[in-house]
Chain A
Amino acid sequence: MNRIAIWTVVILGGLFALFMLTAPTAEEAAKNNAPSVDNGGIGNTSLFDSDSVDLDSKPKLFIGDPDAPVTLVEYGDFKCPSCNSFHHQAGQRIREEYVDTGKINIEFRNYPFIGPDSGRAARGAYCANSQGAFTAYHDAVYNDIWDSNYVRGDYSVEYSDIYSVDKILEVTGGLVDDPAALRTCIESTGQDGHIDTDIALARQDGVSGTPGFVIDGRPLNGPSNFSTFKVLLDAQLR
């Protein structure tokens, strides 16, 4: 029995290793996995050639010190339940242990694909950033849908158009100096180019959905636990 058990473990381990060594890279997977759900025309990846990303004009949405030595890139959709779960679980610990201590910052990039209000919320992120309130906006929007629905496992609103401009203003208007400017900004298409650039960057980075991350140039697709981030961030910080 022992010999068979050992051989089975060896064979399974070998297959596991072989599978990992020959698996397509996330970059390859991402090329075939662009968002395919209506997002209200904002962030339509079909418009993009991933080589023509205009990084110079795009403001960066930082959580934490923009000058921190390491950056964790996060791709998210404000309606995505898993992104929200990350924000409340692993994300919270990353903030406490790495961001608040100045070791890293998080650069948030929009990847709106769930519905038209994902795009509206993404616009709002850039609009709030222009008033210096991105982090507060980010947290307020995520916390709003979490507290009212996702925390109870209720995902019924995920595909309902709940984030009208009025609703976004209701949730985040108090966080900015000029709520009227925030409204005008969200209602205009002025930020759409930045969102499109975010999505094109996701393609370049090999991120195929949300939540998606880039750590030290390597994509991490989907939800993950804190220890995965820790091992990668610690290695990069050394």
Chain B
Amino acid sequence: MDKLKKHINSLPFKTRVSFVAAAKVFLNPGYVALAFVGVILSASLVIWSLNLDLARFILFEVDQPLGIKLQTVLWDPYWNVFTTFDSIQAFGIVLFSFLFGLNLSVITYVLKNQGLKNIPKKSSFGGTVFAVLAGGCVACGTSILAPLLTPLLGIFGVALSGTFLRELATWLNWAASILIVFSIYKLGLLAATIQSKRKLDNGHRSHKKPDSAEQDSATKE
């Protein structure tokens, strides 16, 4: 009980430390670019989840310039998401893809500095799966949720309704985003450790420098 209390009490501080550390990652423009790529790729995966075959056809078979094909598959669906989907679905896709991009960059930062150790794989992977499942227009029967759930719920004699599917998709979208936020939180804590270690190392070095300069002059004398 005490442990839980302690954990809860430290949560605001840890959260602040984690997200400040995660934000510091984006001082490097390379990570901003990587996040941007993550946003576009994850949004495309969710938006095209029902038409992957068609996306492949557009990219590899349609007789159009490559720029137009890439724009059609990767760019336009994202920038038109609010006119293509209803506002709740569109907001879910934008939020998820934004968080996915951030998560990707912070993962890369932690991987680069610390390796695979302690990477929160479950929340990142779970978030992506949830978001893809929630993609498409579930209320209209064009989701990959419907064929997955129909036989499963049929075992228990439960019939699927469009309202249920729409609500489920919305919840899955939120769950996906919450999982990704949790993943960023965990990664942020790792990033904070990395950054403070680096700060300490730099501090040692800057303290050592005058010493070594003194040593050098002493040797010369």
Listed in ascending order, the chain A residues whose CB lies under 8 Å from chain B are 1-2, 4-5, 8-9, 12-13, 16, 19-21, 23-26, 29, 32-33, 35-37, 77, 80-83, 85, 89-90, 113-114, 153, 155, 158-159, 208-212, 218-228, 230-232, 234-235, 238
Q: Which of B84, B159, B160 contacts A225 (CB 8 A)?
A: B84
User: Does A4 contact B111, Cβ atoms closer than 8 Å?
Assistant: yes
Chain A nearest CB, measured from B183 CB (Å): 16
Chain A nearest CB, measured from B21 CB (Å): 16
User: Does A218 contact B150, Cβ atoms closer than 8 Å?
Assistant: no
A81 / chain B contacts, CB cutoff of 8 Å: 86, 139-140
B48 / chain A contacts, CB cutoff of 8 Å: 20
Chain B interface mostly helix, strand, loop or mixed? helix
Chain A nearest CB, measured from B78 CB (Å): 9
B31 / chain A contacts, CB cutoff of 8 Å: 1, 5
Q: Does B169 contact A (CB under 8 A)?
A: no
The CA-CA distance from A218 to B31 in the complex, in Å, is: 38
User: Does B111 contact A9, Cβ atoms closer than 8 Å?
Assistant: no
B163 / chain A contacts, CB cutoff of 8 Å: 158-159
Chain B nearest CB, measured from A158 CB (Å): 7
User: Does A231 contact B111, Cβ atoms closer than 8 Å?
Assistant: no
The CA-CA distance from A228 to B45 in the complex, in Å, is: 15
User: Does A220 contact B54, Cβ atoms closer than 8 Å?
Assistant: yes
User: Does B141 contact A208, Cβ atoms closer than 8 Å?
Assistant: yes
Contact with A along B159-175 (1 / 0, CB 8 A): 11111001000000000
User: Does A158 contact B50, Cβ atoms closer than 8 Å?
Assistant: no
A9 / chain B contacts, CB cutoff of 8 Å: 34, 37
User: Does B83 contact A153, Cβ atoms closer than 8 Å?
Assistant: no
User: Does B34 contact A222, Cβ atoms closer than 8 Å?
Assistant: no
The CA-CA distance from A16 to B70 in the complex, in Å, is: 13
Q: Does B215 contact A (CB under 8 A)?
A: no
